[in-house]
Amino acid sequence: MRGEPGPLRRVTGPAIARNVSDGVRSRAHRNGKETKAAVISKGLYRYETFKNDAQDCRPCQQIWDQMRKTDEEQLGLLVSHLRAHLDQERARQTAAA
């Protein structure tokens, strides 16, 4: 039935777009991204501490810089995608009103 959640399963690719219309799964899908974004965001400030702790090792500092850059890119990707989900949800709510 449409309003009832189905079994949990990993959803990727085109299946994600189909799930967006399913309220329960789309919220769970979005919540997972929100959780990951929060974890990345909370960890970003630590990289400067790690880099300072490695002040005697240039290769370690470069590793920390690269890891921070990767996390910043992942966070940007997640935030952008979450924004798209929220925009779609707002459009559906506006159309339904």
27 CB-near residues (< 8 Å, 6+ apart): none
What confidence score (pLDDT) does residue 23 get? 57
Q: How far apart are CA 15 and CA 33, in angstroms?
A: 16
What confidence score (pLDDT) does residue 26 get? 66
3-state secondary structure the chain: CCCCCCCCCCCCCHHHHHHCCCHHHHHHHHHHHHHHHHHHHHHHCHHHHHHHHCCCCHHHHHHHHHHHHHHHHHHHHHHHHHHHHHHHHHHHHHHHC
Greater confidence (91 vs 22) lies with: 91
Greater confidence (79 vs 14) lies with: 79
What confidence score (pLDDT) does residue 5 get? 45
Cα 27 to chain centroid distance, Å, stands at 13
What confidence score (pLDDT) does residue 61 get? 95
What confidence score (pLDDT) does residue 66 get? 96
Q: How far apart are CA 65 and CA 51, in angstroms?
A: 8
Q: What is the pLDDT of residues 24-79, one digit of tens each?
A: 566 666 677 788 888 898 889 899 999 999 999 999 999 999 999 999 999 999 99
pLDDT band at 12 (very low <50, low <70, confident <90, very high): very low
